[in-house]
Structure 1
């Protein structure tokens, strides 16, 4: 049975400290036992719940000890939840840099048009001027979290994409993978091709696109390893394929051979993005903290 967390209030907000691993909806149902299940689910759906410093709406979002869950009043939530599943790290007249949560699409699909990073940012910039727009520069998979950049004009988008390798100085990812990785560091170099079912796979000849990943072991136990990966090239699913090739698929990545899903999401996070600003020429560096579950599962 889930223990009740330590409860307090601040500025009219309810705060609950997580004492043991669980999921968000069961945790809230336990803490807010005076409310009906439908009432608690509505509070979640409306974006009134924060986990640490971000709005969270997923019922099965995994919680770990030490996190703080807060329930916002509806009026406060309306102001805070303009952006759901993401927060802005930096914005100027040329670019927007965000920290995207796992589970949020970068761009629209046939099934989902509005709950995407691009759609929300488009609404965000139009609050200042209805003519403002946002453009995709690069993408993160839906289940990958972390740092992502958008352009605020077609000209800046083209400038970034056409000079991507020159402009970007560092792209670092953190991956939680299955098994104890024995190699402390190394480089994986293959050519990637895409199957008819849209699955990427490695070939050793030049029949595909060259993909180079540099990796370093951060920590590990008997079940899982935490790996830092730097991209020299940015191919579709590159890190996921390369780590799977090594016999250490990313946790939760059933598509590429994972047998476990202990954190309720894909174990891949875009930790660092460093680049030369397309207008000012200044070196920019943005970081998104590694999710706590990645750290606790690999200790």
Structure 2
């Protein structure tokens, strides 16, 4: 069924698309921009552009049309393939790409692109996740390992379960640190007050994140995070829990933050054993341009 959302602006400020992304956390900013472009967003009964600056008292109606059914279709979408052999593919996922089809994102995903690239992808129990053994969020960039056959899937999933693989992320977070490194051990589950979010919850799933402070700027820090476990939104939730939410994070961060296209989080290093040979493979990729440009601006503030 189509869904309508009604929002009356009180103290919210800024662009229409940004304000709606903060208010309607189940919709991505890109999806909101699509709805605006398609004429499905009315401000005081008029269509406005995404760049429209909201005003106190504005009445906004967002019409969310019925989503088309999911279908696994191959799509000719460019991929940054870092490595490929008979068992695995390592992909550098761009920021803004969803990993696999879902109700809110039926197509244009990494899986759709992979299906165009190869017919060899390990089937998944869920059906819409062929080849996928782990995920990163839509607005997180970086490295993912893909299984091409059942043997590879079993091996990669076993490495994830036994914490023998290597996953290191770079993140820009709010605030500065007195310590140079640390470990966050805090259970994660669905937020009981807001089902769209995860949170540190007693009785949740065991979760461990190791972090290291790489560089500090006025009001922000660059850190690396090594995942010991891989819970949904783990780094984003853990860093908020210790008072250092990710910059740009529309779900867990403050409204006053760095301009970008979502959280500044990049899966920089990925290491695992090749499923057939057992050889240790390790890959790294630099942060995307918007991340690097933001670091350059922050470094200027230190001078």
After TM superposition, the score normalised by the length of structure 1 is 0.66
Counterpart of 1:208 in structure 2 is 204
Q: How far off its partner does 1:261 sit?
A: 3.7
Q: 1:181-260 to 2 correspondence within 5 Å? A: 181-195=177-191, 197-203=195-201, 205=202, 207-259=203-255, 260=257
**What TM-score, normalized by structure 2, do the two folds share?**
0.65
Q: What residue in structure 1 maps to residue 134 of structure 2?
A: 138
Greater share of residues in strand: 1
Residue in structure 1 matching 2:115, options 107, 117, 122: 122
Is residue 157 of structure 1 aligned with residue 150 of structure 2? no
Structure 2 residue aligned with 1:295: 295
TM-aligned CA distance change 1:107 to 1:273, over 3 Å? same
Q: Which runs of 5+ in 1 are unaligned?
A: 1-58, 61-80
Question: What residue number does 1:5 align with?
Answer: none
- Residue 262 of structure 1 deviates from its aligned partner by 1.6
Shift of residue 224, structure 1, vs aligned partner: 1.5
Distance 1:149 1:169 in 2: 11
User: How far apart are the structure 2 equivalents of 1:169 and 1:162?
Assistant: 9
Secondary structure of the corresponding residue to residue 93 of structure 1: coil
Deviations for 1:20-79, whole angstroms, at most 9, x for unmatched residues? xxxxxxxxxxxxxxxxxxxxxxxxxxxxxxxxxxxxxxx99xxxxxxxxxxxxxxxxxxx
> Contact conserved, 2:87 with 2:152, CA < 8 A, in 1?
yes
CA contact (8 A) 2:90 2:145 kept: yes
Counterpart Cα distance in 2 of 1:183 and 1:250: 18
CA distance 1:229–1:298, shift in 2 (3 Å): farther
Task: Judge conservation of contact 2:247–2:253 (CA < 8 Å) in 1.
Answer: no
Q: 1:218 to 1:298 in 2, by over 3 A?
A: farther
> How far apart are 1:229 and its partner, in Å?
0.4
Confirm or deny that 1:268 pairs with 2:265: yes
- The count of aligned residue pairs is 215
Deviation, 1:225, is 0.8
Does the 8 A contact of 2:170 with 2:266 survive in 1?
yes
Residue 278 of structure 1: aligned partner: 275
Q: Identify unmatched segments of 5+ residues in structure 2.
A: 1-49, 52-74, 124-129
1:168 touches 1:273 (CA, 8 Å); kept in 2? no
Report if the CA contact (8 A) 2:172-2:264 is conserved: yes
Q: CA deviation at 1:242?
A: 0.9
3-state SS of paired residue (1:121): helix
| RMSD, aligned CA | 2.4
2:89 pairs, out of 96, 104, 122, with: 96
1:103–1:143: 8 Å Cα contact kept in structure 2? Answer: yes
Q: Which residue in 2 is equivalent to 1:113? A: 106
Q: Does the Cα contact within 8 Å between 1:176 and 1:226 map onto a contact in 2? A: yes
Deviation at 1:142?
0.3
* 2:142 is aligned with 1:174: no
Q: Does the 8 Å contact 2:156/2:275 carry over to 1?
A: yes
